[in-house]
């Protein structure tokens, strides 16, 4: 899935960012830690299996999956929630609010 997601980012040249995450416009969260849209896309391209946390069934679009990742960005541990179609849809991108489990990173946290 990670490789398919990276190919989608590169092939179609964009990441769609949902307008809201946790009730707050995503641009507010992204700008709070000084990231622009391209920074978000670059971080998504850097995700590896060690960043993977879990896969969930999408409750809105039946049959689709949502992938959860964590990523250390300077002093922030980011929570990233993605859906993959022809483009990568970034559903959530913000500083973590709860502990993130990493099952493939040294046995997980």
Reported as type and span, the H/E element at residue 94 is strand 88-95
The structural domains of the chain, with segments of one domain joined by +, span: 2-95
What is the model's pTM? Answer: 0.73
CATH architecture, domain defined by 2-95: 2-Layer Sandwich (3.30)
Secondary structure of residue 25 in the 3-state scheme: strand
Give the range among 14-18, 36-40, 49-53, 82-86 with minimum mean pLDDT.
14-18
* Percent of the chain whose predicted confidence (pLDDT) is above 90: 30
What band does 86 get if pLDDT is binned at 50, 70 and 90?
confident
- Position 90 scores a pLDDT of 84
The two three-digit tokens of residue 21, written as one number:
């995450």
């Amino acid at each position: 899935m990670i490789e398919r997601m990276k190919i989608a980012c590169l092939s179609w040249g964009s990441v769609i960012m949902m307008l809201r995450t946790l009730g707050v416009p995503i641009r507010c969260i992204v700008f709070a830690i000084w990231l622009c849209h391209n920074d978000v896309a670059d971080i998504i391209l850097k995700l590896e299996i060690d960043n993977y946390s879990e896969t969930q069934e999408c409750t809105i679009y039946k049959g689709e999956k949502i992938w959860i990742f964590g990523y250390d960005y300077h002093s922030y541990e980011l929570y990233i929630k993605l859906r993959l179609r022809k483009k990568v849809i970034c559903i959530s991108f913000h500083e973590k609010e709860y502990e993130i489990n990493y099952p493939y990173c040294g046995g997980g946290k």
